[in-house]
Chains A and B, each alone.
Chain A
Amino acid sequence: MIEVPKTYEEINEKIRSGEVVVVTAEEMVEIVAELGPNGASQKVDVVTTGTFGPMCSSGAVINVGHSTPRMKITHAWLNDVPSECGLAAVDLYIGATEVAEGDPLNRSHPGRFNYGGAHVIEDLVAGKDVRLRATAYGTDCYPRRELETWLNIRDLNEAYMLNPRNAYQNYNVAVNKFAERDIYTYMGVVKKGLGSANYCSAGQLSPLLNDPYHRTVGIGSRIFIGGAQGFVYWQGTQHDPTGARNELGVPKGGSATLGTVGDLKQMDPRYVVGVSMLGYGVSLALGIGTAIPILDEELAAQTGVSDAQITAPVIDYSHNYGLNEGEPLGHVSYAELKSGSIELEGKTVPTTPLSSYVRAREIAEKLKGWVKAGQFPLVPPVQALPTPESSPGFKPLNYRPVAEEGGE
């Protein structure tokens, strides 16, 4: 068969006329297996993806409005969680991993971290009142020095998520090879003696694993975020497409990432969940999804990728990760990880996921409905994310001990 590439306009026209064929990335696996990439590219117009897992580099901008008298807030707490206020007078940024003041942290190890910024964001999205406490030094134009009030999202001028890094394309599998006890990490509790393998990716449903060179997702791309529609505003921090890839172009480890933005007022707390990682801290479990236009055979093949074709590096988190040492202990496929156990160094190691595949599936299904209903128009990226050719890669900290005389 001859390949007939499609354009964004043609796909949007099919959406308008109701002829569009939309499937999830999970369904696409079967379709490509049956029809091949060429056949699949002619049958399917759009493939939807989804992921739902802890994404630490998240947070929200809120503008609380001006009080009378006015105040230039210099310190602020939302439900006792410190909020960044080094911005204009009443703009705040609440980071997802910020822990409530007074939390015992890891003084009694492992700490529980029951409440933090991610929970504040979830409470706002759920429409719950949140208590703001703020102080200021006072100026001629902003005389007020103290404020304590209830806030509700409906009264805020702006409340939007602004996340420096989401939707990591592939990720490590964490194991504990060397510690004599279980370890408490952002990947969950990792059991001693290779007692567990903790992974965190939706694999074949994951947004960036279905478009490995991010041809259809870039700056300006519309996405599903927390139950609402939002956008990609930049590459995520630590975006590094330069690493090793398999024969399908799928990165063998952490690679591309997305900077995302979305309106908190439109979100659904089902997809914005504050989570507490024992002994580690607070994070935000967030739902992200994309809709990939099947412009050609290559995208059909890429969206048809299955868990068996995607591998992740197995990293020791008891020693190697923390000290930036050593090599991966191996590479395993998501099909193996999802089977319940992997074979590693002659041992059968039980696996445990941290990202919810059921909710990832739910997001991809929801997006399918939005695309079909014409509520999710597809547009090419305004600008591509850095590619393997254009990216400077991912640098470690250039550590330069501070001399008494100061820097250059």
Chain B
Amino acid sequence: MSESRIVLHFPKTLLDRPVISKAVQHYNLSFNILRADITQEQEGLMVLGLEGEQDDIDAAVEWMREQGVRVQPLEKDVVRDDERCTHCGACVVICPTDALAMDLQTREVAFDAAQCVACGLCVPVCPPRAMSIHF
């Protein structure tokens, strides 16, 4: 069993189609919606955790791409500008998953992209604006 976190962008034309339920049924996956939004441009955005055999996950992603969904791996989405980050720590109580956590020895803020669910809460909270979110 593997787990994969992905960001899906649905064009307007796909918003009313059951792309995800078809994909998880056909490829025998289970899923967890981490975030879902419809942007002002009427594009659908969903952050999804998929669980299943790695081959099936890959095939499901490929199938969704064929339907016109843009798919990106999640960890690329929240980015820290390490030049800009001062390691002040203002983000650490805001981050809901401890992806941003204070290292009690070095006093640096460690950013663990694997734990990040791309909620984006850290972006406006970061005083020097070191965090950004890219979909």
- Bound together: yes
The verdict on A339 contacting B104 (CB below 8 Å), with A54-B127, A114-B129 known, is yes
By a CB distance below 8 angstroms, the chain B residues around A210 are none
Q: Are A275 and B124 in contact (CB under 8 A)?
A: no
C-alpha gap A54/B126 in the complex (Å):
13
Distance in angstroms between the alpha carbons of A259 and B18 in the assembled complex: 64
* Residues of chain B contacted by A52 (CB below 8 angstroms): 86, 88
A350 within 8 A of B: yes
Bound: A352/B87 CA distance, A: 11
Q: Which residues of B contact A351 (CB under 8 A)?
A: 93
Which residue on A lies nearest to B101, using beta carbons? A340
Which residues in window 78-135 of B have CB below 8 A to A?
86-94, 102, 104, 106-108, 124-125, 127-129
Number of interface residues of B (CB under 8 A): 19
Cα-based distance from A273 to B86 in the complex (angstroms)? 9
Measured CB to CB, the closest approach of chain B to A181, in angstroms, equals: 14
Tell me the residues in window 173-205 of chain A with beta carbons closer than 8 Å to chain B beta carbons.
188-189, 191, 195-196, 198
A339 to B106, CA, bound (A): 12
Q: Which residues of B contact A352 (CB under 8 A)?
A: 89-94
Complex-state Cα separation, A355 to B127, whole angstroms: 11
Number of A-B contacts (CB under 8 A): 72
Contact A354 B89 (CB under 8 A): yes
Q: Tell me if A285 and B88 are in contact (CB < 8 A).
A: yes
Determine whether A289 belongs to the interface, using a CB cutoff of 8 Å to chain B: no
Q: Are B125 and A285 in contact (CB under 8 A)?
A: no
Chain A residue, CB-CB nearest to B84 = A273
Contact in complex: B104, A354 (CB < 8 Å):
no
Contact B93 A285 (CB under 8 A): no
Closest chain A CB from B104 CB (angstroms): 6
What per-residue 1/0 map shows which CB atoms of B9-22 lie under 8 Å from chain A?
00000000000000
* A273-B125 in contact (CB<8A): no
Q: Contact between B93 and A195 (Cβ–Cβ < 8 Å)? A: yes
Contact between B124 and A359 (Cβ–Cβ < 8 Å)? Answer: no
> A323 to nearest B CB, angstroms?
24
Q: Is A53 in contact with chain B by the CB < 8 A criterion?
A: yes
**Shortest beta-carbon distance from A399 to chain B in Å:** 33
Cross-chain contact A354 with B129 (CB below 8 angstroms): no
* Complex interface: chain B residues within 8 A of A359 (CB): 86-87
Q: Which residues of B contact A114 (CB under 8 A)?
A: 129
Q: Which residues of B contact A338 (CB under 8 A)?
A: 104, 107
In the complex, besides A189-B94, A276-B127, 14 extra interface pairs with C-beta distance below 8 angstroms are A54-B127, A110-B124, A189-B93, A273-B86, A278-B125, A285-B127, A340-B102, A351-B93, A352-B93, A353-B90, A356-B88, A358-B106, A358-B108, A361-B107
